[in-house]
């Protein structure tokens, strides 16, 4: 045979050998990868499995009576504890409820081992067909794992742990035990956990008494508790209920006749007494949380299982009035502020509004990203023009916004040349709000506000609202936000001067005040009056009415910063937060709204320091009183903080502020003569305050951003915070008789329409504070004996007794 004859056979053999070797190597490689994957998976499993939670807590149903918080008039405002209220044994749960749950959530629950692979396949096909996430594949066991022990973050690590925990639950518990857990402890909206609690929350009846129609409506809630519960959105709950009823019929749980009867049944919503929905009739979340913290400080974790009942000092009517006032004040500011634009803008498919299922699915997904906030509701814009905005809350709830005032709020987003990030158009995701008789588009507020009121005679807190929405963050701005009080602090500066020889009639320079860098030791300080307006001289009374900064600085300069710092501690202020420097005259220290309320109570109650308190008494589960407050009362000589004459004069001047000064709106709207108060606005309008009081009640309102920034150049305490205070007092003071001023205290006289202390009569009191320039003023005011030193230096007159009419040349 020739060499040419052998060649093809040789080539063919080599080729076959090469291919065989390739497949052999590929097989070995794949097997190696598989082995590595198996080893890594085994390692991950070995590391993760021991860290999975112990399941014993899931099935621990020992009765534990929770901590309950009430208002003074016995309205439930909070519950804290580990007890699963209304827990039922598996055999106590009606079959109709079990079948409704299986139909709605997991019809193959008793067939799969924790993961329904057939369900996963159906969901994948459905989602690919619809090009959206229209179906999920979570089983009841997976929901139990997720709801009990895992966070809601969407990460692969969390999903891995969820799968492992699902297998552990299935390996440890029976199917009936898993379903029992699910039905007793799943969250179903309106603070109801478990279907027994939900039945009482939504229908006011025991779970054993529910009809198939009611069971189907309850079974539809877990898909989206905030969206599908019948109180929040009855139409969506009804749509979901019909879906569940159809599933129950198709799976053989209902006959055709039973199905028809259930479809026709009218659903009546009624919350049973003592349920979260029926019991939390007012918004007392900040009060309840603070009461819990205070009790925890005494009993630690024992408070969650011993059945304690905490009765606060808060009045339910006052608390709800405060909540509404804060919320409306924040929304009013949000309306005034420039509209920042929609949350985002979607590429909304044409004609989606004609496909209810697709539109509702899209809105459900948006609700997860942009949840409703009480009455500020998520919607998607279907069309927009300067004359009308049409937005969808659901396929059956289409809102038209045509009110000219409402459209003016978002006008910058509707004009032809609107910036892209501000433009409102089809597909824009916005928030809508029902304002009286019309709808409006309004962005979710970013500003915050707080309000607290207390009884001036003993410091009992009557209301407390620490922010716009407790659920967005439990930070209580009434007790935790240290902010500059601005001009709301000036009455304390003025009060200190009355006891050092100044009077409401003292003439004080309002000319600009300058300290050079050499005088301050750092940089020059050039404070300004609000609005940049100055006057040559003003009486102390006039200056307080007009809230003049230059006058406050000169008063503090005269009295001495260190004396003022000492004096402020009488009101309960922290010395270290009120530095002995001249900017303190403008409220440059820091206070909380609650601390400021306690300080103003000293003015309101005649000069006594009565620390604010919240808890009146606590009872155990048998009703026995185990704690009882013993507040300090006004009139207790040991609680005397300042001279009663100082109180009388300051109250008279602050009633003037509320009648003809920066707070004159108070008198115009409430028509009362027994209210005193002071507005406060800090530099660049970072904080806006109004502090006001009657002889019996003190109220403090604050507004600002959590990360301090300007509210706007035109925003002041009188414009931003005073309306909150007024809306609260309008309710609280209604039908309350006015309290006239008491008699002049001993040692106080009225001469020519103005008040004088007996030791500082006309001719001996300080008559004038002012100099053409401030170049010779010591930076620290002359130390703790400021007025004495300055008088000695500049006039040769000692301050003790002030034997003749004195002019202090600042």
Catalytic residues: 105, 487
Beta bridge partners of 622: none
Tokens at 638, concatenated: 């040991």
Angle at 739 between CA 737 and CA 745, to 5 degrees: 170
Q: Residue 199: CB partners within 8 Å, gap ≥ 6?
A: 205, 206, 207, 209, 210, 214, 218
Q: Measure the CA–CA gap between 540 and 560, rounded to whole angstroms.
A: 17
Give the count of alpha carbons within 13 A of 266, CB side only.
2
Specify whether the CB–CB gap between 617 and 625 falls below 8 A: yes
What is the secondary structure of 296-339 as a DSSP string? HHHHGGGGGTB--EEEES--HHHHHHHHHHHHHHHHHHHHHSPP
CA distance 727 to 324: 8
Those residues with Cβ within 8 angstroms of residue 537's Cβ, 6 or more apart along the chain or in another chain: 507, 508, 509, 510, 768, 770
Radius of gyration of the chain (CA): 35
Cβ(104)–Cβ(94) below 8 Å: no
Structure tokens at 457: 């005679």
Q: Alpha-carbon distance 148 to 135, whole Å? A: 23
DSSP 497: H
Count of other CB atoms within 10 angstroms of residue 51 = 8
**N-to-C CA span, the chain:** 128
Measured CA distances, 612 to 372, 521, 596, 726 (Å): 35, 40, 10, 22
């Amino acid at each position: 045979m020739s060499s040419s004859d052998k060649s093809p056979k040789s080539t063919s053999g080599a080729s076959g050998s090469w291919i065989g070797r390739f497949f052999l190597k590929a097989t070995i490689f794949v097997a190696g990868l598989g082995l590595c994957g198996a080893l890594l998976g085994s390692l991950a499993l070995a590391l993760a499995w021991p860290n999975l939670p112990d399941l014993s807590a899931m099935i621990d149903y020992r009765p534990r009576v929770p901590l309950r918080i009430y208002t003074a008039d016995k309205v439930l405002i909070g519950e804290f504890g580990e007890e699963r209220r209304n827990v039922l044994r598996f055999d106590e749960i009606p079959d109709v409820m079990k079948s409704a749950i299986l139909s709605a959530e997991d019809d193959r629950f008793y067939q799969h081992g924790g993961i329904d692979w057939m369900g996963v396949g159906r969901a994948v096909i459905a989602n690919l067909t619809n090009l959206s996430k229209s179906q999920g594949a979570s089983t009841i066991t997976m929901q139990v794992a997720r709801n009990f022990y895992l966070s809601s973050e969407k990460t692969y690590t969390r999903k891995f742990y969820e799968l492992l925990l699902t297998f552990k639950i299935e390996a440890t518990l029976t199917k009936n035990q898993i379903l029992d857990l699910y039905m007793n402890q799943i969250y179903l909206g309106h603070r109801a956990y478990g279907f027994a609690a939900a039945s009482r929350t939504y229908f006011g009846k025991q779970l054993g008494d529910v009809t198939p129609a009611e069971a189907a409506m309850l079974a539809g809630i877990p898909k989206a508790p905030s969206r599908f519960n019948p109180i929040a959105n009855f139409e969506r709950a009804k749509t979901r209920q019909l879906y569940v009823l159809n599933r129950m019929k198709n799976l053989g749980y209902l006959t055709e006749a039973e199905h028809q009867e259930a479809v026709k049944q009218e659903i009546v919503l009624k919350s049973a007494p003592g349920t979260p929905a029926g019991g939390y009739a007012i918004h007392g979340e900040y009060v309840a949380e603070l009461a819990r913290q205070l009790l925890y400080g005494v009993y630690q974790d024992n408070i969650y299982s011993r059945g304690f009942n905490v009765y606060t000092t808060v009045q339910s009517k006052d608390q709800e009035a405060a909540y509404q006032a804060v919320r409306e004040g924040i929304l009013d500011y949000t309306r005034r502020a420039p509209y920042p634009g929609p949350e985002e803008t979607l590429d909304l498919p044409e004609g989606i509004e004609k496909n209810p299922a697709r539109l509702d699915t899209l809105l459900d997904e948006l609700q997860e990203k942009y949840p409703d906030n009480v009455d500020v509701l998520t919607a998607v814009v279907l069309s927009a023009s300067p004359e009308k905005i049409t937005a969808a809350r659901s396929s059956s709830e289409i809102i038209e916004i045509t009110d000219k005032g409402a459209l003016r709020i978002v006008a910058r987003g509707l004009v032809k040349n609107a910036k892209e990030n501000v433009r409102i158009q089809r597909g824009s995701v916005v928030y809508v709000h029902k304002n009286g008789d019309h709808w409006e588009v309004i962005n979710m507020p970013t500003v915050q506000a707080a309000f607290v009121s207390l009884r001036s005679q003993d410091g009992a807190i009557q209301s407390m609202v620490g922010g716009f929405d407790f659920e967005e963050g439990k930070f209580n701005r009434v007790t935790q936000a240290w902010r500059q009080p601005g001009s709301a602090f000036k009455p304390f500066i003025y009060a200190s001067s009355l006891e050092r020889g100044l009077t409401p009639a003292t003439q004080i320079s309002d000319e600009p005040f300058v300290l050079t860098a050499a005088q301050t030791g750092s940089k020059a300080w050039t404070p300004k009056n609000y609005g940049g307006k100055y006057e040559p001289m003003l009486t102390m009374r006039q200056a307080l009415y007009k809230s003049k900064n230059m006058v406050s600085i000169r008063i503090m300069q005269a009295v001495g910063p260190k004396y003022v710092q000492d004096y402020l501690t009488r009101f309960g202020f922290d010395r270290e937060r009120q530095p002995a420097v001249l900017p303190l005259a403008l409220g440059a220290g820091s206070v909380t709204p609650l601390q400021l309320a306690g300080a103003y109570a000293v003015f309101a109650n005649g000069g006594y320091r009565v620390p604010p308190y919240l808890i009146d008494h606590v009872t155990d589960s048998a009703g026995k009183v185990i704690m009882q407050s013993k507040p300090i009362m006004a009139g207790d000589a040991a609680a005397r903080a300042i001279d009663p004459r100082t109180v009388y004069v300051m109250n008279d001047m602050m009633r003037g502020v509320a009648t003809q000064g920066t707070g004159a709106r108070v008198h115009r709207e409430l028509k009362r003569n027994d209210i005193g108060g002071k507005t406060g606005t800090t530099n660049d309008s970072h904080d806006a305050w109004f502090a006001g009081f009657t002889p019996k009640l003190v109220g403090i309102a604050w507004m600002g951003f959590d990360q301090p920034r300007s509210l706007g150049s035109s925003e002041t305490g009188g414009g931003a915070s005073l309306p909150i205070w007024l809306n609260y007092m309008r309710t609280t003071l209604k039908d309350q008789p006015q309290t006239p001023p008491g008699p002049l205290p001993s040692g106080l006289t009225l001469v020519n329409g103005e008040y004088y202390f007996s030791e500082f009569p006309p001719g001996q009191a300080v008559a004038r504070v002012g100099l053409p320039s401030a170049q010779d003023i010591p930076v620290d005011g002359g130390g703790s004996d400021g007025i004495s030193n300055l008088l000695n230096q500049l006039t040769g007159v000692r301050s003790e007794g002030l034997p003749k009419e004195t002019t202090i040349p600042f």
